[in-house]
Chains A and B, each alone.
Chain A
Amino acid sequence: MLTKRGHCLCGAVAFEAEVEDGQYGACHCGMCRRWAGGPFFAKETEALGVTRGADKIVSYRSSDWAERAHCAVCGSNLWYYLVPKQQHIVAIGAFDDQSDMVLAAEIYIDHKPGGYALAGNLKRMTEAEVIAAVVPGGTG
């Protein structure tokens, strides 16, 4: 387990999080791309505490199961919050030290538009594969 600190661009919001390892993923789903301006690079956390500026965080309920949070002052994307799991999936750029972090996977690869592509030997999962992996016993 790694303890990672992070903050937004203007510094109004800061946090501390526990992550299992330094491997992270990129999401190409339509909502992530619409929100982040491109593929969303993020890391799931085991625990997260806001250490500064909780009153500056704006959360937008983007689906029945998720919220997307940004800093009201500078607009930095902070995290995608999975409501049923109470889990913060944090924007990689918000972490202060990324020297022990590496892109390992791309999800919703079947939603990635043409025109750009990430190189390398990454684990690549389609929407159906992601859903099968997170929903026990099927693709419900």
Chain B
Amino acid sequence: MSGAEARSERSGHCLCGAVRFRIRAGERFGACHCDHCRRWSGSPVMALTVAPEDMAIEGAENLAWYASSERGERGWCRTCGAHLFCRFREPGSAPRWEVMLGALDDIAGLRLVREIFAERTLGVYRFEGLEQRLTLADLMARMRGAGGAR
């Protein structure tokens, strides 16, 4: 997340319209192929990182949340089931939300640059043109390199 990245305002909503939101975020998004994400969405999860203070939600009472780990929760519309958000609290980093790409009204200008848990695609699908493909082993090596987490 470079500080120089352009940020813009975007809006989004679930399939039935019970939950609506506005965000302010950058233009680069990632994909996650981990077992939890694929089991939850059926597909790789593509999402845009947003700071909690850059999120405004209307109809939040229609959201349901599930804690899929100690660090993260997944949110969806309880009426239509549309996937909207993940929110994370991880040791050593600021709280963050991930907003599902498909929930945004317009993704003009956004682009997929990075994927994580790349080994979990089982080699049967692949995104084009990424700047970064990280496997679980790569992520672990980075954490060790940063002196963190262990």
**Interface residues, chain A, CB within 8 Å of chain B?**
8-10, 26, 31-42, 58, 60, 62, 68-70, 72-77, 90-94, 98-99, 101-103, 113-120
- CB neighbours (8 Å) of B46 from chain A are 37-38, 116
Q: How far is the CB of A91 from chain B (nearest CB, A)?
A: 3
One of A10, A37, A102 near B45 (C-beta < 8 A): A37
Contact present for A69 and B43 (CB under 8 Å):
no
* In the complex, B111 has a CB within 8 A of chain A: yes
Q: How far is the CB of A48 from chain B (nearest CB, A)?
A: 15
15 A-B residue pairs with Cβ-Cβ distance under 8 Å, sorted by A, are A9-B40, A26-B125, A37-B101, A38-B100, A60-B15, A72-B64, A75-B75, A75-B83, A77-B41, A91-B43, A92-B42, A98-B124, A102-B124, A115-B107, A120-B126
Instruction: Identify which of B14, B81, B112, B127 gathers the most chain A CB atoms within 10 Å of its CB.
Output: B81
Q: How far is the CB of B108 from chain A (nearest CB, A)?
A: 7
Contact present for A116 and B108 (CB under 8 Å):
no
Interface range on chain B (Cβ under 8 Å from partner):
35 or more
Q: How far is the CB of B99 from chain A (nearest CB, A)?
A: 9
One of A35, A39, A68, A93 near B38 (C-beta < 8 A): A93
Contact present for B42 and A94 (CB under 8 Å):
yes
Contact present for A60 and B80 (CB under 8 Å):
yes
* In the complex, B76 has a CB within 8 A of chain A: yes
Main DSSP-derived SS at the B contact region = mixed
Contact present for A119 and B127 (CB under 8 Å):
yes
Give the CA-CA distance A128 to B8 in the complex, in Å.
34
Contact present for B122 and A36 (CB under 8 Å):
no
Given the known interface contacts A9-B39, A34-B102, A37-B102, the answer about A77 and B111 at a Cβ–Cβ threshold of 8 Å is: no
Contact present for B74 and A101 (CB under 8 Å):
no
- CB neighbours (8 Å) of B111 from chain A are 114-116
Give the CA-CA distance A23 to B87 in the complex, in Å.
33
- CB neighbours (8 Å) of B101 from chain A are 33, 37-38, 115-116
Instruction: Identify which of A39, A41, A76, A94 gathers the most chain B CB atoms within 10 Å of its CB.
Output: A76
Given the known interface contacts A9-B66, A35-B102, the answer about A68 and B80 at a Cβ–Cβ threshold of 8 Å is: yes
- CB neighbours (8 Å) of A58 from chain B are 78, 81
Contact present for B68 and A74 (CB under 8 Å):
yes
Give the CA-CA distance A10 to B29 in the complex, in Å.
27
Contact present for A34 and B103 (CB under 8 Å):
yes
Given the known interface contacts A9-B40, A94-B39, the answer about A74 and B100 at a Cβ–Cβ threshold of 8 Å is: no
One of A70, A90, A117 near B76 (C-beta < 8 A): A70
Contact present for A75 and B102 (CB under 8 Å):
no
Contact present for B112 and A115 (CB under 8 Å):
yes
Give the CA-CA distance A34 to B15 in the complex, in Å.
6
